[in-house]
Structure 1
């Protein structure tokens, strides 16, 4: 458990947090830390009348253009599609695809973003994931042990199966994946094999800068696209021993394992827990770099990226009495990272589609309780 001194550390102007807030199914803690010259991460927490929407958008390409576009448009597209029908994995997928289509119509450069979009509604968790952000659930097992279940898959070239798949699709390009400084890359995008945007790796006629060819060793023509934007989908029932959800961008998971993050959340108070998770990640960074923690905090903004990436963390605590009631009354609002005030939220859902058969709660869940696919 962290000391009071650690709990009160001043992380400086590159840090933002909301220590605790209420939602229809419990409470939430949020925190973000900037490392790039431009904060490339965006996140949002949309509180509806009986549901919540959470978006974590991890931008790349030295820009927040794609991540900001997702934060401004994805939830609105989801609300529009859900109102026309019902909430489902397909509705969530169509919202992500529609938002990327809109973005690709307007942006012609390297701007791209990972996209983690989740909905909690009527006892179910819906997830659409593109990239290397994660949803991890803290599950309380017998004897008060805590287990970390990763709901999402990492779409990164570090995964051997993904590297093989990419190479098989692009046999004529010997540079399609390569290792640099211990990290596997897929062309110009470090690590990720899926992303929203990054039009120059998907659409040949979007090469508007000749430097792309030299920088990324691009070959024309290419088919299929060098990067996928299709989300992986999941619907999972939430059980009484599911205590909390952790949603975070890749900057966190580069420094802390899912097991360690779940333990930190489980062993500390709810208030300010997202902030404390980031502090623990920074301590790991300092340890790796063999430097004092205070010295890491004093690194200037223009130099911080050489030490760690932007980090976004949301910890969602679940009150299952509230979940069984379909949620309790909560002030409908939109919480955005690095914003000093809340705005109104237009997030709405019509009706549920299919009732899953619930099963007994016994530690790890059966395959029938979770369905993940592309």
Structure 2
């Protein structure tokens, strides 16, 4: 194996490798108390380069053990989701009240990060990205935040429970119009902000920012012994699978990496054409 290939493999293993350089990317990891994670990414059938990026890492902070997981689904951009992968969790964890008021800290960190992306628009370009982040704290608490339509859910006793909220333009039409924008929907297409963007909230998108929100929805979920796994996936999964169908596909696959790969394969078999990213975190 050539030196560059070896470096790329090492970078993928620690979740620093770019999905842009590969048709398929996968990986796995483990933390104490038998919590494992695996991920799988596949480029869609569009003519542009892969725009999905993810982050999946276990981290020790003082006496706390964190699992940090995220999917960033770019649109007209590789730069914005890549920036998010490098900076969003860093910004969240340096908020001084993260440990006491996680929801407020995450909202502030999302806002700070979006402001920085807009400031850097000359370098990062005019595109944007959705985001879904999940922070597992000491295997007892899960904090999920999202903007856009990538999704996070848990499986408990075989049942899917969605923790994120899909931010669709139709659902937020009043807010968009109140900011001076409009929502259009042509036959055969989805609703779009100002005729362009199919999500009502996103990082970046400087030309649309006056009409878009970057305010995340944040949910705190207790993790108990009945919680089997956490699933994060970009909309390439949800175009063709319901929450429960996705859970049913992988609930009996105990290896997290194989579960992520299998879910991607099922979505492809159902003719999903978008970029697809999946993270599975097994808790049992």
- Name the TM tier (shorter chain): 0.7 to 0.9
Partner of 2:222: 237
- Counterpart of 2:149? 132
Deviation by residue 1:62-85 (Cα, 9 ceiling, x = unmatched): x21110010111121122225886
CA contact (8 A) 2:185 2:195 kept: no
> CA offsets per residue over residues 234-276 of structure 1, 9 Å max, x none?
1111121111010011111111111111001113342511011
Q: What secondary structure sits across from 1:252 in the alignment?
A: helix
Alignment of 1:46-195 (within 5 A): 46-49=57-60, 50-61=65-76, 63-82=77-96, 86=100, 88-108=102-122, 109-122=125-138, 123-140=140-157, 146-157=158-169, 160-167=170-177, 169-170=179-180, 175-195=182-202
Instruction: Give ranges in structure 2 of 5+ residues lacking alignment.
Output: 1-21
User: Aligned equivalents of 1:182 and 1:107: distance in 2?
Assistant: 29
Decide whether the 8 Å contact of 2:71 with 2:233 is kept in 1.
yes
Q: Give the structure with higher Rg (CA).
A: 1
Task: Report if the CA contact (8 A) 1:167-1:177 is conserved.
Answer: no
The answer to whether the 8 A contact 2:42-2:276 is kept is yes
State the alpha-carbon separation in 1 of the partners of residues 40 and 195 from structure 2: 29
Cα pair distance change 1:165/1:94, threshold 3 Å: closer
CA–CA distance in structure 1, aligned partners of residues 32 and 143 of structure 2: 16
Q: What is the count of residue pairs matched by the alignment?
A: 252
Aligned: 1:23 with 2:37: no
Distance of 2:133 and 2:149 partners within structure 1: 12
The answer to which structure, 1 or 2, has the higher relative contact order (CA under 8 A, 6+ apart) is: 1
Asked if the contact 2:92–2:98 (Cα under 8 Å) also holds between the matched residues in 1, the reply is: no
- CA distance in 1 between partners of 2:205 and 2:184 (Å): 16
Of 192, 199, 210, the match for 2:206: 199
> Greater share of strand residues, 1 or 2?
2
2:255 matched to 1:248? no
TM-score using structure 2 length:
0.82
CA distance in 1, matches of 2:69, 2:101: 15
